[in-house]
Amino acid sequence: MKLRICLVIIYFLTGTLAWAQQANVNLDYNPQKNTENLIPFSAPLNSPDVHDDGTVTFRLKAPAAQDVRLTGVAILTALGKTGQPVPFTKGEDGIWTLTVGPLRPDMYVYFFNVDGVQIADPSNTIAAFTAMPPYSELVVHGNGPAYYDARNVPHGTVTRHVYHSDVTNGERELYVYTPPGYDRSKSYPVLYLLGGSGELPSNWVYDGRVNFIMDNLLAEGKAVPMLIAIPNNQVIHRNHPKHTELTFKLFEAEMRQHVIPLVESEYSVRRNPQGRALSGLSMGGRHTQFVGFNSLDLFASFGVLSAGDVNSEESIAKFLNDPDVNKKIDYLFVGQGTEEANGRMGERCVALHKALLNHNITHEYYVGGYGGHDWSTWRHLLYYRFLPNLWRKN
């Protein structure tokens, strides 16, 4: 009898604690799979509802609405409907419903458009905040944890630093990942990782999952142990009329005066160009070009993700025409997603790639994954190419 009671208790606990729709108890790889038919806490209903076949059902309770559509670059790209928001169907109970897919296992940013107003899904507890209005995350699961999920492996630590900047005249933040087993008696290389327009440092953690990606790569023996410092590269209002003119000089000053000195005073790291790398996505990729390429006294490795410039030959002329540039750089990576490479956004990466080829600068150019100009691409680039190849030469 005691054994039977114990088995019942175990069944009850595993059922309620491990398998609840958006329960947020564990860092589950399938948080939006509905197995108990429980509504997320404080939500009006279940949405999104992710099925094992990769199809997804969205729901919105909006009895007075006249038109509801699914939108968002990432989700529409994955559905093959770029620029074409997908309409919901309204039920007699005032609940709008839409089922799409199947979708490949991944994480997708999406919005609802309700009578012309863009909103996050009010029933989805997995939302992101940036320097832009909040959005919702769809997590389509596979048969187990993905390369960007929390797995049962040793985990590193992410620390948030708040410091005063004389460059921006205010308090700013910086996130630093230290690998599992971080040992202050050793000296580690540092990757300075940047976001795009409207991104905050925390987005590389919550959307980019860079800490879990690094944990998994290290557990698989595929990467060199390193620190990853994620500064805020928003140094002037993104809609400032002189943003492009001012941002690069300001960010270089921020890196030289505050970010690098803070990291090197708090952590046991290498303090030479060969021990520092700079990488970023989109706008962060442009910072990597226009700040990093012109700061070879600081950095010797670079990752330009989904970025470039149609005037690359002019904008980085000093770097391109340096006769010793191949001796100064250890690794230069330029990458983008398959979907964005087929469109206008991809022209920027191609322009940079061609400029590097024209000047015989050693680099790796890569197009891969299934994503467009979105986090699916940037996670893919980190895991499959950039991080495994970083610091393999020295």
Residue 227 bridge partners (DSSP): 190
What is the reported pLDDT for 6?
41
Residue that has been written with the tokens 């187990």 in this structure: 144
In this predicted structure, the answer to whether residue 10 has a pLDDT above a threshold of 80 is no
> 232-236, 238-242, 264-268, 390-394 — which one is most confidently predicted on average?
264-268
Chain-centre distance of CA 81, in angstroms?
A: 22
Residue 313 banded pLDDT, cuts 50, 70, 90: low
Confidence at 41, pLDDT banded by 50, 70, 90: confident
**Alpha carbon 192 to chain centroid distance?**
14
Do the beta carbons of residue 356 and residue 332 sit within 8 Å?
yes
Per-residue pLDDT for 1 more than 70?
Answer: no
Q: How would residue 312 be classed by pLDDT, with cut points 50, 70 and 90?
A: low
What average pLDDT does the segment 96-104 reach? 96
Pick from 204, 61, 206: which is nearest to 121 by CA? 61
Q: Which helix (H) or strand (E) holds 200?
A: none
User: Is 12's pLDDT higher than 70?
Assistant: no
Q: What is the mean pLDDT of residues 251-274?
A: 97
| Residue 315 banded pLDDT, cuts 50, 70, 90 | confident
Average pLDDT (280-302) is 95
pLDDT tens-digit readout, 336-351: 999 988 877 788 899 9
Residue 301 backbone phi and psi in degrees, to 5: -130, 145
Q: What is the assigned CATH class of domain 19-140?
A: mainly beta
The SS3 of residue 211 is: helix
* 379 CB neighbour count, 10 Å cutoff: 24
From-to residues of CATH 3.40.50.1820 in the chain: 157-389
To the nearest whole percent, how much of the chain has pLDDT over 90? Answer: 76
Confidence of residue 15 (pLDDT cuts 50, 70, 90): very low
- Give me the torsion for CA of 34, 36, 37, 42, rounded to 10°: -90
Whole-angstrom distance, CA of residue 147 vs CA of residue 152: 12
CATH superfamily label, 157-389? Alpha/Beta hydrolase fold, catalytic domain (3.40.50.1820)
**Within 10 A of 272 (CB to CB), how many other CB atoms are there?**
10
- The rounded distance, in Å, linking the Cα atoms of 275 and 324 is 19
Q: What is the pLDDT of residue 112?
A: 97
In the chain, which segments carry CATH 2.60.40.10?
A: 19-140
N-terminal to C-terminal alpha carbon distance within the chain: 63
